[in-house]
Structure 1
């Protein structure tokens, strides 16, 4: 019988960093019904102000993490054992979990990687070294523009920047600003096929190694869709300028927000920009028949069919069982 909202079952305790921990499993959510919530909780009474980082993974039938259900928490400090409910590892809506191919006989497997950081306050050190704030100082250059020596024009807006910073972070910018392409540069440098707010976010990442806060007004669903669209545009920009870490961050965000309305567009994006993890996450989602039917009925399917027919061929080959190989070959012949 499904437990009511706020009720949980706990795992067998395990030890990391000299402290005992356990997983709290809320079948009907910790605070919000209609979802499954999973938390990491402290089980040691002697623990105080423990800084922890945790990564949650839903596992497929081979025991491998599913990209679309991976989640890494921000650093969290446990004041003591009674701090509740702990770190939220993930919250998955029932409708998505029940429609997943990873749910077998009403069971699923998870993996939790826990990192416990050594607290300088609890050691015998007399000097505490603060964390690096290099990104803050470099980020200040973007704000005050001291020493800026290049200007970009994007979508009617102008952005000042520093050639050396851009070249250090992007091989493409290095070639454009210092290499053989330098002679062909205009002043300001015109950037086509990109929106101004996307280029602004790209610069923010280059200078700070982090994404700006993305605030979308309206419902949670509207905010999520807005973040997905922004992540898609940023992924294209990151691929264009060969900024691999930003590309992977955007790819991970898109993996975590796949739905029937967006999956066709996301799959085309993954194919066009060589995002293998994102493509696998889309294939996993489309392995469920109702998700596949909804994708075919979506607005993005026509674009996918026209722009990336090869990925549809690969999808068909994945979905059809081996014994229907002859049928698959006939379908491919008709398709092309």
Structure 2
């Protein structure tokens, strides 16, 4: 079935809605989008879509729906997942980490939970000293519990924490997502308390 849906997307046969993203045109099917995303359902089928969702505006010169705050490649991957229920991005691509981040934001925006969880899982593999602060902020902003916990676990290591601090990662968190610092401090305090209990025993 997924192969049939993917073929339908690729052929554009029966498409009844078009999007313009980053200068590219994408043809799709309202019912398929609506069945996979409550947000698309409201935007494409809801009676108040124009008032509720200002970021999707009917074009004045064409019938395409313009999405101005997303890259064409990200939207293509989003559509591909909606039709195939599978991710279509190579992990070894030069920009794979950035693409997974953008795709996570898109999945959260359109309430596609399975894709969001897949993006979280992929991004956990990219956690390191230089990326952890940005990924932790991303996880907090988009309510990604798994990714957030993975980042906090990485920072449990004193060596990792020291390197991130030296690189200015904690300053970044303090300015972009200060609530995460509170969670980090609480986690470190909890670990310190557990260690003290273990030492006493």
Deviations 1:53-102 (A, max 9, x none): xxxxxxxxxxxxxxxxxxxxxxxxxxxxxxxxxxxxxxxxxxxxxxxxxx
Q: CA deviation at 1:203?
A: 0.3
**SS state of the match for residue 20, structure 2?**
strand
Q: Residue in 2 aligned with 1:279?
A: 148
**Are positions 1:203 and 2:79 aligned together?**
yes
Deviations 1:179-225 (A, max 9, x none): 133345403111122111000000000010111142756xxxxx4xx
Q: TM-score normalised to the size of structure 1?
A: 0.52
For 1:183 and 1:257, locate their aligned partners in 2 and report how far apart those are by CA, in whole Å: 38
2:183 equivalent among 314, 330, 335 = 314
Higher helix share: 2
**Are positions 1:193 and 2:73 aligned together?**
no
Q: Residue in 2 aligned with 1:179?
A: 46
Q: Residue in 2 aligned with 1:228?
A: 97
2:123 equivalent among 251, 254, 263 = 254
1:268 equivalent among 137, 152, 167 = 137
- Structure with the bigger RCO (C-alpha within 8 Å, sep 6+) is 2
For 1:183 and 1:281, locate their aligned partners in 2 and report how far apart those are by CA, in whole Å: 39
For 2:96 and 2:193, locate their aligned partners in 1 and report how far apart those are by CA, in whole Å: 39
Conserved? CA contact 2:77–2:89, under 8 Å: no
Q: How much is the aligned-residue C-alpha RMSD, in angstroms?
A: 1.8
Which protein has the larger Cα radius of gyration, Structure 1 or Structure 2?
1
**SS state of the match for residue 151, structure 1?**
strand
**Are positions 1:214 and 2:110 aligned together?**
no
Higher strand share: 1
For 1:183 and 1:317, locate their aligned partners in 2 and report how far apart those are by CA, in whole Å: 43
Residues 297 and 191 (structure 1), Cα distance of their counterparts in 2 relative to 1, 3 Å cut: farther
Q: Residue in 2 aligned with 1:332?
A: none
Deviations 1:207-244 (A, max 9, x none): 10111142756xxxxx4xx2221111100000000000
Corresponding pairs, count: 183
Q: TM-score normalised to the size of structure 2?
A: 0.84
Q: Residue in 2 aligned with 1:168?
A: 35
Q: CA deviation at 1:302?
A: 3.8
Q: Residue in 1 aligned with 2:22?
A: 155
Conserved? CA contact 2:124–2:147, under 8 Å: yes
Q: Residue in 2 aligned with 1:137?
A: 4
For 2:121 and 2:50, locate their aligned partners in 1 and report how far apart those are by CA, in whole Å: 37
Deviations 1:107-164 (A, max 9, x none): xxxxxxxxxxxxxxxxxxxxxxxxxxx0000000111000111111112221111111
Residues 214 and 304 (structure 1), Cα distance of their counterparts in 2 relative to 1, 3 Å cut: same
Q: Which deviates more, 252-261 or 262-271?
A: 252-261
Residues 153 and 297 (structure 1), Cα distance of their counterparts in 2 relative to 1, 3 Å cut: farther
For 1:215 and 1:262, locate their aligned partners in 2 and report how far apart those are by CA, in whole Å: 16
For 1:182 and 1:299, locate their aligned partners in 2 and report how far apart those are by CA, in whole Å: 43
